[in-house]
Each structure stands twice: as structure tokens, then as C-alpha cells.
Amino acid sequence: MFHVTERLLLRPAWPEDADALFGGIADEGVVRNLARAPWPYLPKHAREFVMREQDPRYPVFLITLPTSEGSEVVGCIGIDRSETADAEIGYWIARPYWGRGFASEAGRGVLEVARLLGHYRIEAGHFVDNPASGRVLRKIGFLPTGKVAPRHSCARGEDVSCALFKLDLDAEDQVAPQAA
């Protein structure tokens, strides 16, 4: 599955993307904010990631920026299963692309995909020491639940306080996403 936004192409990861993926995520400042990625993040982890099977109802996309030479890997975003909602989104952006609105743009794009796939209640969260991610979630329409819960961070090797958010895609009274 592919999705095009104003500046980005969201697409599946292919085996030849392993090096570019590794180049973006092999940064402790990125990985420490993710629940499932280990630290240190090694080339073998990137190879395993690009080779994994995808569930069409829960796609994971590379966030790519088209260039005259092809494309650059900006980060990754995906729709995952959730125990308490229809789905959960998670994402990361490589450090050189921070502060350029790519997370918000990719987030809005993946929410469009979620609607097309029939998802209706989406959850997300961010570690409380990563408030930038909370700003992204609010910008794309997520509402804070007011709950903070422990979530394991593989990279940190411990549970970390995680602020929880929700978004009802079919709710008429849901706050509209803000522009980037």
C-alpha cells in the first residue's frame, strides 16, 4: 500500500531500504522514544524490519521525501494492533528532518489510510519526556485521555511513563486537526 501527501510518499519498506532505514534510526535520540526498537540499533535490526511480513489491515510505511535522485527516508509510521482500541499509530522521524512538519504530515496521511481500512478508534502515546511527539499528536487531531501509564522501552530497558491519546475517526464532535 502507498499513500501520497503534499510532500511525502508513504510506502512499504523493501529489502534495499535497509541501509537508509538504519541511517535514520540508528540514533539514540530517536530510538529512546520508541517502545519496540532496541538500543543499540544494529544493521541486522534494519534488515529484519524491511523483511518482515505486513498485515494489510495494519500497514507500516517508510516516510520518504521524493528527490531528483530518487527519495530520502525521513522516518517510519505505522498502524498497529491495539488491545484497547481498533488500532494504534506509532512513528519516528530521523534527526535531520525534525522540526519540518514531516511527522504531522505523515500522521495525517496515515489517518486517511486508517479511515480507508475501516479503523474507527485510534490510540497513540508518547513518553512524557518527549513532549514534541505530544504536540504532533494534538496537531493531527488526537485528544489527550488524561492518563499516563507505564510502557516498556526496549531501548531504555525499562518502563517509562507514557501519556495516552485517542482519536475517534467517525466522531462528529472530534476536534479538527490543525494545519502544520
99: left (phi over 0), alpha (psi -120 to 50) or beta: left
- Give the model's pLDDT for residue 146: 97
Q: 140: exposed, middle or buried (C-beta count within 10 Å: 0-12, 13-18, 19+)?
A: buried
Cell of 66: 521524493
Domain membership of residue 14 (yes or no) is yes
The strand order across the sheet containing 143-153 reads 3-4, 9-11, 60-67, 70-80, 87-93, 121-127, 158-168, 143-153
Quick: pLDDT tens for 28-72.
999 999 999 999 999 999 999 999 999 999 999 999 999 998 899
Cell of 46: 534494519
Choose between 15 and 177: higher pLDDT.
Answer: 15
Quick: pLDDT tens for 97-151.
999 999 999 999 999 999 999 999 999 999 999 999 999 999 999 999 999 999 9
Name residue, grid cell 508518547. Answer: 126
Quick: pLDDT tens for 81-98.
998 888 999 999 999 999
Cell of 135: 504536540
Cis before residue 40, ω within 30 degrees of 0?
Answer: yes
The residue range of the domain holding 51 is 3-120
- Give the model's pLDDT for residue 179: 52
Distance CA 169, CA 122 (A): 7
Q: What percentage of the chain reaches a pLDDT higher than 70?
A: 95
Q: Does 180 score more than 80 pLDDT?
A: no
Domain membership of residue 164 (yes or no) is no
Domain membership of residue 112 (yes or no) is yes
Q: Does 174 score more than 80 pLDDT?
A: no
Comparing CA positions, the residue from 74, 55, 56, 78 lying closest to residue 65 is: 74
Domain membership of residue 93 (yes or no) is yes
Domain membership of residue 106 (yes or no) is yes
Domain count, the chain: 1
Between the CA atoms of 85, 47, 8 and 102, what dihedral angle is there, to the nearest 10 degrees?
A: 70
Choose between 2 and 171: higher pLDDT.
Answer: 2
Q: What is the CATH number of the domain that holds 104?
A: 3.40.630.30
3-state secondary structure of 174: coil
